[in-house]
Structure 1
Amino acid sequence: MPTRVHEFAWPDRVVIGTVGAPGERTFYLQVRAGSQIVSVALEKQQSAQLAEKIDEILDQLITVKGNPFSVPTSSPVELDDNEPLEAPVEQFRAGAMSLGWDPTTAQVVIEAYPIGDPDADEDEEPFDINGDDETEMLLVRMPVGTARAFTKRTREIVAAGRPTCALCGYPMDPDGHTCTLPEV
């Protein structure tokens, strides 16, 4: 089965954004280079983990003795992006993701793969009535400054959701909250 790779080597924009009201939001990883735009749906937790792990990679690079890369400790102001998502909004829903560092280009690398069919039999060839048995993946490479701006925005987007209950830690809905205290 061939894989269509949506590759962005030096994107103009890489952001996490949402569609919907808090409690009903869908998170998207959106990448644009020129007129090519790809938006991949993510879970809130995937978005938060992605930002956390990118910051960990960048923070580790700063501590490496003899590091030849200039890694900013915070988001460069000129790279901050507070604009909404651009259309089109969804290409596929991400399942597995990988994150890495490419020292040859000094870029953080993100790979996102679509959720597979959990009911599919691995030994059985899938039957596609349209003859389109192509899968997709997203491959994004972003420089360190863009990566810091990405993590800053992602943390802000994730935090902009429903407030959490100080007692139980679960999100509180605007129409009320039934607190379920954890057992001690």
Structure 2
Amino acid sequence: MSASFDLDGLEHFTVGTIGPPGQRVFYLQAGVTGTLVTLKLEKQQVAALAEYLAGALREIADDPDAILPEADLGLIDPVEAEWAVGDIGIGYDADADRLLIMATEVPSQDDPGEPATARFHITRGQVAGFVARAREVVSAGRPPCRYCGAPLNDDGGWCACSN
């Protein structure tokens, strides 16, 4: 069974990738002094999480554009994923004015135990920074085919739909 995490007072919360377009691996990373948690995600999970968080920020903030995003949003080495994320849930703690992201590990057929979970309590600034960074890394991939929208092959000029 993998380790579970519940981190509050985060000093670092970001998303990033390793690898060339078409072969990138996406990571969610959160940290407090002495603890750094890195989880593996899919590109679609990053995009969906960013858009949902952007909407949540609009709901809870009077002027979401006035929120200053966190500054340093690069991945911290070593980037070693604890586990791969399956489900992601989001909540809001109005008393603490924090959004809560809860990630659940992809269940393993080899391990019949409960999947691990990670809970990250993040500030509005961390949300704003995450959304901007996530949109940046998602859009940095291969360009889409103008006909079907699927990513073009590695040389950027061919899609199976044009065959």
* TM-score interval, normalised by the smaller of the two chains: 0.7 to 0.9
Cα distance in 1 for partners of 2:73, 2:30 equals 14
Residue of structure 2 equivalent to 1:110:
101
Percentage of pairs with the same residue: 29
Residue of structure 2 equivalent to 1:129:
none
2:57 is aligned with 1:76 = no
Report if the CA contact (8 A) 2:14-2:75 is conserved: no
Report the alpha carbon displacement of residue 134 of structure 1 after superposing the two structures with TM: 7.0
Residue of structure 2 equivalent to 1:153:
133
2:9 is aligned with 1:17 = no
Cα distance in 2 for partners of 1:164, 1:74 equals 32
Larger Rg: 1 or 2?
1
Alignment of 1:20-169 (within 5 A): 20-62=19-61, 72-73=64-65, 76=68, 79-117=70-108, 119=109, 126=112, 135-169=115-149
Q: Which runs of 4+ in 1 moved over 4 A?
A: none
Aligned residues: 161
Residue of structure 1 equivalent to 2:161:
180
Report the alpha carbon displacement of residue 84 of structure 1 after superposing the two structures with TM: 3.4
Cα distance in 1 for partners of 2:32, 2:123 equals 14
**CA 1:72–1:36 in structure 2 vs 1: closer, same or farther (change >3 Å)?**
same
1:83-122 per-residue CA deviation (whole Å, 9 max, x = no partner) reads: 23421420000001101111011011000111113x57xx
TM-score, normalized by length of structure 1? 0.78
Instruction: Return 5+ residue gaps in structure 1 as ranges.
Output: 64-70, 127-132
Report the alpha carbon displacement of residue 75 of structure 1 after superposing the two structures with TM: 5.5
The one-letter code matched in structure 2 to 1:72 is P
Aligned with 2:161: secondary structure?
A: coil
Q: CA-atom RMSD, angstroms? A: 2.4
Instruction: Return 5+ residue gaps in structure 2 as ranges.
Output: none
